[in-house]
Structure 1
């Protein structure tokens, strides 16, 4: 597996369009691979720069994507990392600073035989509870004193078939401790929650100094 980071050129009109329509990057990302595969991705801002981060099984060819929204004349604007090696170096009891952009929802049951209704979680406290309730499933403990929702907002855009997509986003940042390395590696590979095609679910780590 690979982790790829591509710096985005925000002076390009197409790049600015992708910020309000994740379906555009979804199409560019899928078009960068010969075979169809599940790809995790997210756009991050650091200072005044924007980066597209991807996790994929194959290396991909990002020449077209870079032509549309990246820096074509800067070979250093794209970086690859051996993701399998990174995961292999993770162990129980390690402490990491994390970031996660997730579609936070809950399912409301209408009784036996009825289809459950999916509703968004709107308040940061409910979104944090959603995250904490998944500690066992993820194989981690979250530091409740250091984990926050840094932003929450609606994502709304139109697909090419004129179908409107609307969902709620929460961006979490904080500290976690790995408690079950096998579960955690699986989460790092497969992502978390829904709307992964549109930039949700990728968990990224930075070592705590």
Structure 2
């Protein structure tokens, strides 16, 4: 069982913690954990995505969780009935996804992870191509992001066409586990929005609950859809 929630931040709370919401992905992650936590041994069984306005202010949070979440002093929660979408093959949906696309490969005997776009830019640089002059960043994001999404579709029962998908917001987030953390790590996200077609209903429904990508923490991986 899963429940879909829309969360609205209290305005005073949002203003007070504006910088943390903007700069510290772990701060928001902790807020969500606090809402869904049932016991200290709980494993992560939720996905969420933050909706921002043009000034990077938090507008709302979409949360898919295994339990119903209740409102708090700082957050007003609206919850749908039991989330159980009916999916059939051949249907088309408008979708939104924020993902943390990564590339995995062996280097020096170890499996390492690299951000998709950063890795692509480094590869161009090694090949002597200037991303700014010879290969625009927007083109790079569209090409590499689309290839990543197509491959995910093959795994998860959906198909997309290049002209039906917009890819943008190549954002970088710093994650600190605590204020004294001297070695924060960075995640880079891409936003995908467009039209997809279901080719395998069972696989597609599964990914709606499990999320897309191997890196689904910190607001990544939630695939939200609406019928066209």
Q: Structure 1 length as normaliser, TM-score?
A: 0.83
Residue aligning to 2:146: 128
Secondary structure, aligned partner of 2:29: helix
Deviation at 1:83, TM superposition (A): 4.5
Aligned length: 194
1:27 aligns with 2:35: no
Q: How many Å apart are 1:19 and its aligned residue?
A: 2.5
Asked whether the equivalents of residues 146 and 162 of structure 2 are also in contact (C-alpha less than 8 Å), the reply is: no
Name the CA distance, whole Å, in 2 between partners of 1:179 and 1:15: 42
**Aligned equivalent of 2:83:** 84
Q: How does 1:43-58 map to 2 (within 5 A)?
A: 43-45=50-52, 50-58=59-67
2:68 counterpart of 1:39: no
Report which stretch shifted further, 173-182 or 54-63.
54-63
For residues 55-93 of structure 1, the C-alpha deviation after alignment (integer angstroms, 9 at most, x for no partner) is 011112341xxx23x3xxxxxx532113433x2x22211
Partner of 1:74: none
Choose from 90, 114, 132 the match for 1:119: 114
Match of residue 206 from structure 2: 186
Contact 2:21 2:58 in 1 (8 A): no
Unaligned runs of 5+ in 1: 71-76
Q: Could you state the TM-score of these two structures normalised by the residue count of structure 2?
A: 0.77
Q: Would you say 1:143 and 2:161 are equivalent positions?
A: yes
> CA shift at 1:34, angstroms?
1.4
- Structure 2 residue runs of 5 or longer lacking an equivalent are 118-139
Deviation at residue 31 of structure 1 after TM alignment: 1.4
The residue that corresponds to 1:204 in the other structure is: 224
The 1-side partners of 2:58 and 2:64 are apart by 20
Offset, 1:167: 1.7
Q: Distance between the aligned counterparts of 1:49 and 1:29, measured in 2?
A: 14
Partner of 2:194: 174
What SS does the corresponding residue of 1:133 show, helix, strand or coil? helix
